[in-house]
Amino acid sequence: MTVDEKLDLLTGTDSMWTKGVPRLGVRRVRMADATMGLREDNVPATAFPAFLCLAATWNREVAAAYGRAVGEEFRAAGIDVLLGPGVNLYRTHHGGRNFEYLGEDPCLAAELVVPYIQAVQEQGVAATVKHFAANNSDWHRSVSNSVIDERTLRERYFPVFEAAIWRAGVRCVMTSYNLLNGEYTAENRWLLTDVLLGDWQFTGLVMSDWAGTWDTEKAFQSGLHLEMPGGKVWAAERLRTLLAAGKLAADELDRKVSRLVEWTLELDAHQAAVASTPHGRCPAHAEVALQTAREGSVLLRNRDGLLPLAPTMKTLAVVGPAACPTPTSGGGAARVAAVDPVSILGAINRLAPAVRLTRGERDDDLKTADAVIVCVGYDAEREREGCDRPFELPWPQVQLIRRCTAANPNTIVVVVAGGGVEMASWIDGTAAVLHAWYPGENGCQAVAEILFGEVNPSGRLPFTLERAWPDAAAFGHYIPEGEAHYADPDYVSQYRPAFDVAYAEGVFGGYAHFDRSGTAPLFPFGFGLSYTTFAYAGLAVRATAEGGAEVRFRVRNTGGCAGAEVAQVYVGDLVATVPRPVKELKGFVKLFLQPGEEREAVVTLERRAFAFYDVATHAWCVEPGEFRISVGASARDLRLNASLTL
Ligand code: BGC
């Protein structure tokens, strides 16, 4: 290759393509967003529920089916690279892109992202795990400096990426817009060369986020392979001058070029070997989307068993801005335009045609209805990439909930949003609350099925929901005090000075913070109600030859209908030389049980489940001694405990 050909290869073109080297038969590779379905003009695609809804299913099989369907649609459309999944941890409810990610816990996120990526790539489509790393807020993201100590990065923010690489063999990594400890991630040599390419031996392609690269030389030396979408700082002319001046090393150029060419050829070989029959948007994919919503919607409250609604009811008031049309997704690169989306109102009407529906315009409608369903939340305008959003619901919606609860004790709130919202100020007056996330094109059908008992809810919260924001781990260590969440457009960010976001909570993020502070959350991590009940028994734990443990227990459905329980396994190190969380999720299993049925669950824990990252030795360390193994239905509902000595 000539030097010009090499330099040209390092940047993308036409917004979503690599350039290739046509003279040598190295083809252009085509990319498209994103995690929740194909976002491509003029290609109708299945709009799946929010990725956060997938996290709330706690079901690896659903994750695989979701990934397979998305991968098939990409392959059918001739797209080689899926610009997803996004796996940044949910640090606060404010995060504008939380809906695209998998919640607050590294274990849950890793367990679901692995089958998703495997299934996408089995279709001959390369997946891109993003945004590496520590992009946990979208507020002026391009001047936001995440200040995080190494142990916290290794224990909380890195494991999902590590799992994507080691367990799923992901083919691409995309860097993020933010700075990490003072360096833009695309320019951060420690992050890309030492950790990603060094420690983790990543053999795929490292690309920048779109226009997220600033310094030509630093980015060249960091380990980044490809600048997307075009040559903002790696324009060939600029690189050529720096190369001639000896400021860029020719062998590094060759390394990048070899990687890009090999990666393209590997993709070709992989696609040639995959015998799948790709499908575009089709009924089977719609069914996967629906099943995700069925298993991911989380029932948070059900006073006196008001739900499921009796089929004999005569009148329902269905009110609120999310009743019809119901927002299908948050906004930004992840948003897939839904074809013929189902609304909550439409789905209820279809499922229960005999029930008279009113829109509750008059207080009388609210008072005389058998129940009121208030549909509230956010939408693609107010919850999206490029800004954060408040914890509170918009004030008129809170007033609407109050008006409904004052008029009718049977008020059911359905929340449509990409994360947690403040509930403590209004929840007491309600009879029931269902979190439906962004339901995608048909998830509202699942909402109706849950309300009327055709589906027994089995979703569990993938984050902790605090009563008030000051209770949360990141409170005081988020965007500058006093600023509004809604950011100016991205281009304004460059006129703002960079600001630090100190992750002062360290490894005590999410539920670990609540365990340490002793504050009770409104709803704990892992929580969700069912129409049946479950009992746990018979915990037995034994050490394995590999240095981990095998955990066995039994779960019985003790209620009157079939349902699924998400049994969660937490590990705590009782005596440690470093501060460690009281407990951390290290395994889980979702069990579908008929009434009266009992099953034994077996969860295997690897040695790493007991380790902390020792910054002195740069290695994972298991300190010999006693560990507590707890099994239960949420981070605050531990039913069985055992001790294990390693
Ligand atoms: C987003 C990425 C996305 C890319 C390409 C960026 O603004 O942060 O997630 O993949 O655009 O559309």
Q: Please tell me whether residues 194 and 56 are part of one structural domain.
A: yes
My answer on whether 208 and 288 are in the same domain is no
Domain boundary residue among 217, 237, 264?
Answer: 217
- Which residue has its alpha carbon closest to ligand 1 atom 9? 333
Q: Which atom of ligand 1 is nearest to the CA of 128?
A: 10
* Structure token digits, residue 4: 């010009």
Q: How far apart are CA 274 and CA 336, in angstroms?
A: 26
Query: Distance between alpha carbon 233 and the CA centroid of its chain, in Å?
Result: 31
> What is the C-alpha to C-alpha distance for residues 568 and 356, in angstroms, rounded to an integer?
41
Domains contained in the chain, number: 3
The set of protein residues with a Cβ atom below 6 angstroms from ligand 1 is 33-34, 83, 130, 209-210, 333, 385
Same domain, residue pair 416 and 310: yes
Atom of ligand 1 nearest to the CA of 176: 8
Cα R_g (the chain), whole angstroms: 25
CA of 164 to the centre of ligand 1 (A): 19
Distance set, CA 486 to CA 388, 489, 631 (Å): 6, 9, 40
* Residue nearest ligand 1's atom 4 by CA: 210
Residue where a domain stops, chosen among 217, 251, 272: 217
3-state secondary structure of 69: helix
The answer to whether residue 583 is domain-embedded is: yes
Mutate which of 175, 385, 491 to test ligand 1's pocket (most atoms within 8 Å of Cβ)?
Answer: 385
How many helices and strands, by DSSP H and E, does the chain display?
A: 17, 24
Considering the domain architecture, whether residues 590 and 441 belong to the same structural domain is answered as no
Which runs of consecutive H residues, i.e. helices, occur in 452-604?
A: 490-493, 511-517
301 plus 427 within the same structural domain: yes
Tell me the residue type at 497: P
From 15, 30, 33, 493, the mutation candidate for ligand 1 (largest count of ligand atoms within 8 A of CB) is 33
Task: Confirm whether 519 is domain-assigned.
Answer: no
Q: Are 290 and 210 members of one domain?
A: no
Query: Which two structure tokens, joined as six digits, stand for 391?
Result: 């914890």
Q: Atom 3 in ligand 1: which residue has the minimum CA distance?
A: 333
Is 518 part of a structural domain of the chain? no
pLDDT for res 214 = 96
Domain around 128? 28-217
> Which CATH number do you get for residue 440?
3.40.50.1700
Ligand 1, atom 5, lies closest to the CA of: 210
Q: Residue 486's pLDDT is what?
A: 79
Query: Of 139, 209, 213, 493, which is best to mutate to test ligand 1, by the most ligand atoms within 8 angstroms of its C-beta?
Result: 209
Residue 353 located in a structural domain: yes
Does 13 fall in a domain? no
Structure-token pair, residue 147: 């200040």
CA–CA dist 296, 636 (Å, integer): 20
Residue 312's pLDDT is 84
Residue 375 falls within a domain, yes or no? yes
CA–centroid distance, 312 to ligand 1, in Å, is 48
Burial of 242 (0-12, 13-18, 19+ CB in 10 A): middle
Tokens representing 547 are: 């240095």
- Averages of pLDDT over runs of 10 residues in the chain (646 residues) are 96 97 95 97 96 99 98 97 98 98 98 98 97 97 97 98 98 98 98 98 98 97 98 95 96 98 97 88 98 99 97 93 98 96 98 94 94 98 95 98 97 98 98 98 98 98 98 95 80 85 98 97 98 98 97 98 98 96 98 98 98 97 97 98 97
The CA-based dihedral angle spanning residues 105, 108, 110, 112, taken in that order and rounded to the nearest 10 degrees: -140
Residues 405 and 309 in one domain: yes
Where is the domain boundary, 189, 217, 245?
Answer: 217
Give the CATH number, domain containing residue 538.
2.60.40.10
Same-domain status, 410 and 297: yes
Asked if residue 313 and residue 409 are part of one domain, the reply reads yes
pLDDT at site 275: 75
Q: What is the DSSP string of 80-105?
A: -EE---B------TT-TTGGGS--S-
Instruction: Using alpha carbons, select from 6, 3, 32 the residue that is nearest to residue 17.
Output: 32
Residue 260, in any domain of the structure: no
Question: Which contiguous run of DSSP H or E holds residue 356?
Answer: strand 356-358
Asked if residue 208 and residue 63 are part of one domain, the reply reads yes
Residue 485: predicted pLDDT: 84
Nearest residue (CA) to ligand 1, atom 10: 83
Residues 201 and 298 in one domain: no
Residues annotated as part of the active site = 209
Q: Which atom of ligand 1 sits closest to the CA of residue 34?
A: 10
Nearest to 404 by CA among 423, 427, 387: 427
